[in-house]
């Protein structure tokens, strides 16, 4: 997410750290590189100009340049200004004080609007709400079926009346929600290939008829300034309360997320972070600024772990590892927990300094991991608990059952024994019985993990 922009900006500030005291010329040189990085990220030229001017004004003051750590103060100024550029504070949903909260979702075709409706419903359902999806896109072939499909996948009811009048469908959908105990209504309106008067008029009529508490616009983050221009057009015809930026996981530039608030005055409220129906996040400007500047996003990482990992089983696993006891049953449980967190590269990018890791270094070969899992699942429960039982004939059976080779089974067993050995060494060191062996540590662990990855 915004990896190119992040790498360029953090490499620029790394040069400042090597200088000790800073001069105005040093600050100007760094800001020129930041300016270029923002323009390459497709951020609006006027926004970049104003941003750089504000940062420079605050960075060349006497208190900053003469301080003991001027480079850290400059970085802090950039972080604060970037947070403001991104919207300043987190903007939540405007909840209704009585009756269901009505959310009208608009957007062009191809932005992932219908999928976003289901993602939003899934997020609100996890927060204890009872959402209802209303199908008002009656023109696009299969639009209603698509909403029904994704609604079923996230366990959310869908109200539809086929290709009837969308305004009437929306009104009756809200009435249905009230009579069936739904506290959130998400109206999926029709999209077009481009902004046109007919679409805007229909969306406005639906809004007038239902009185939404939120009017959200789904925007494709990968389209850069085109997305910002679309937001401007929508906001002029249909006053928006927020934006949902989709496909943020595939956005190499980031111009939309850094421009939309300044151009439209409308805050980004949610971001889509992947293809799965749970891949949506509340947008936090302070956390995003931290990610861009290489400071990580530890709060979001903690929330991801708390949401997806069973803390009790995690504690039990930690206790077993502390004792140096770890078998293939534990290995399977660990893989399940890791998979629940999502793609490993997305998790790692939340850590401070992750943007300094070379591109591709964090990529995990999903096919290789599935082969490893297939090998373990082809073992009997007794073999998983005691791998020493696995002799030549058992290896052949396991290889046949998993669709792999005996060599791959041997490789996994050897790596697993190495992992067990390391855990016992760690336990011994923890109890003070031995010193850290030569060659043990990050390098050895990294080599072992690379071996697992390459199976």
146 and 261 co-located in one domain: yes
Using a 10 angstrom Cβ sphere, with 0-12 exposed, 13-18 middle and 19 or more buried, the burial of residue 426 is middle
Q: How far does the chain reach from its first CA to its final CA, in angstroms? A: 28
Nearest to 383 by CA among 321, 332, 319: 332
Between residues 269 and 336, the one the model is more confident about = 269
Q: What is the pLDDT of residue 172?
A: 95
Largest CA distance in the chain: 77
Does pLDDT of 209 surpass 90? yes
DSSP H or E segment with residue 386:
none
Query: Tokens representing 145?
Result: 């079926």
pLDDT score recorded for residue 438: 47
Q: Which two tokens stand for residue 37?
A: 């990085």
Residues 148 and 283 occupy one common structural domain: yes
Whether 323 and 403 share a structural domain: yes
Question: Is this prediction's pTM over 0.75?
Answer: no
Q: Which residue has the higher pLDDT, 154 or 279?
A: 154
| Residues forming beta bridges with residue 242, ordered by sequence position | 216
Residues contacting residue 358 through CB under 8 Å, at least 6 positions apart? none
pLDDT, greater one: 352 or 340: 340
pLDDT in tens, 250-306: 655 667 888 888 888 889 999 988 888 888 989 988 888 887 877 655 555 555 655
The CA distance from 309 to 73, in Å, is 37
Q: Classify 347 as helix, strand or coil.
A: helix
Do 228 and 179 have their domain in common? yes
- Overall domain count for the chain: 3
One domain for residues 113 and 217: yes
Inform me whether the pLDDT recorded for 146 exceeds 90. Answer: yes
384 and 311 within one domain: yes
Residues 56 and 137 in one domain: no
81-140: pLDDT as tens digits: 989 988 888 899 999 988 899 999 998 888 889 999 999 999 999 999 999 999 999 988
DSSP string spanning 133-157? EEEE--SSTTHHHHHHHHHHHHT-E
Listed range (3-7, 15-19, 213-217) with the worst mean pLDDT: 15-19
Q: Tell me: do 239 and 345 sit in the same domain.
A: no
Is 94 domain-assigned? no
108 in the same domain as 35: no
Decide which of 74 and 129 is more confident. Answer: 129
Do 204 and 339 share a domain, yes or no? no
CATH number of the domain to which 370 belongs: 1.10.260.30
Shared domain check, 325 and 189? no
At 217, which helix (H) or strand (E)? strand 214-220
The predicted pLDDT at position 323 comes to 62
Residues 336, 344: Cα–Cα separation, whole Å = 13
Tell me the residue range of the domain where 47 lies: 3-85
The CATH number covering residue 159 comes to 3.40.50.300
- Identify whether 166 is part of a domain: yes
The per-residue DSSP string of 272-296 comes to E-SSSTT-EEE--HHHHHHHHTT--
């Amino acid at each position: 997410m915004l990896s190119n922009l992040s790498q360029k900006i953090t490499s620029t500030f790394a040069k400042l750290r090597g200088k000790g005291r800073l001069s105005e010329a040093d600050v100007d040189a760094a800001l020129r590189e930041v300016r270029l990085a923002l323009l390459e990220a497709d951020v609006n030229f006027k926004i970049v100009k104003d941003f750089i001017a504000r940062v420079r004004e605050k960075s060349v003051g006497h208190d900053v340049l003469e301080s003991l750590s001027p480079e850290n103060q400059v970085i802090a100024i950039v972080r604060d200004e970037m947070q403001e550029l991104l919207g300043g504070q987190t903007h939540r949903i405007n909840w209704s004080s009585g009756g269901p909260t009505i959310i009208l979702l608009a957007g062009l075709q191809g932005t992932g609007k219908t999928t976003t409706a289901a993602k939003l419903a899934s997020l609100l359902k996890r927060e204890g709400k009872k959402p209802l999806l209303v199908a008002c896109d009656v023109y696009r072939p299969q639009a209603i079926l698509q909403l029904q499909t994704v609604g079923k996948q996230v366990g959310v009811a869908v109200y539809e009346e086929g290709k009837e009048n969308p305004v009437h469908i929306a009104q009756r959908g809200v009435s249905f929600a009230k009579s069936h105990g739904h506290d959130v209504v998400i109206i999926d309106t029709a999209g077009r290939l481009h902004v046109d008067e007919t679409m805007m008029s229909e969306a406005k009529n639906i809004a007038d008829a239902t009185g939404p508490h939120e009017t959200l616009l789904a925007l494709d983050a990968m389209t850069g300034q085109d997305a910002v221009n679309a937001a401007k057009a929508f906001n002029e015809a249909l006053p928006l309360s927020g934006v949902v930026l989709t496909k943020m996981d595939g956005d190499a530039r980031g111009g939309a997320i850094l421009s939309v608030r300044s151009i439209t005055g409308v805050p980004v409220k949610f971001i889509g972070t992947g293809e799965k129906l749970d891949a949506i996040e509340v947008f936090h400007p302070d956390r995003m600024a931290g990610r861009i500047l290489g400071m990580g996003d530890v709060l979001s990482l903690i929330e991801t772990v708390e949401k997806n990992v069973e803390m009790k089983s995690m504690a039990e696993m930690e206790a077993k590892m502390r004792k140096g006891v770890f078998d293939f049953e534990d290995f399977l449980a660990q893989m399940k927990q890791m998979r629940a967190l999502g793609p490993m590269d997305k998790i790692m990018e939340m850590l401070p300094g992750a943007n300094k890791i070379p591109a591709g270094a964090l990529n995990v070969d999903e096919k290789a991991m599935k082969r490893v899992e297939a090998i373990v699942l082809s073992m009997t429960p007794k073999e998983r608990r005691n791998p020493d039982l696995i002799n030549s004939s058992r290896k052949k059976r396991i290889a046949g059952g998993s669709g792999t080779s005996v060599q791959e089974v041997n490789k996994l067993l050897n790596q697993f024994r190495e992992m067990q050995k390391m855990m016992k060494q760690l336990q011994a060191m923890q109890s003070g019985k031995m010193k850290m062996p030569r060659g043990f540590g990050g390098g050895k662990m990294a080599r072992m993990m690379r071996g697992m990855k390459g199976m």
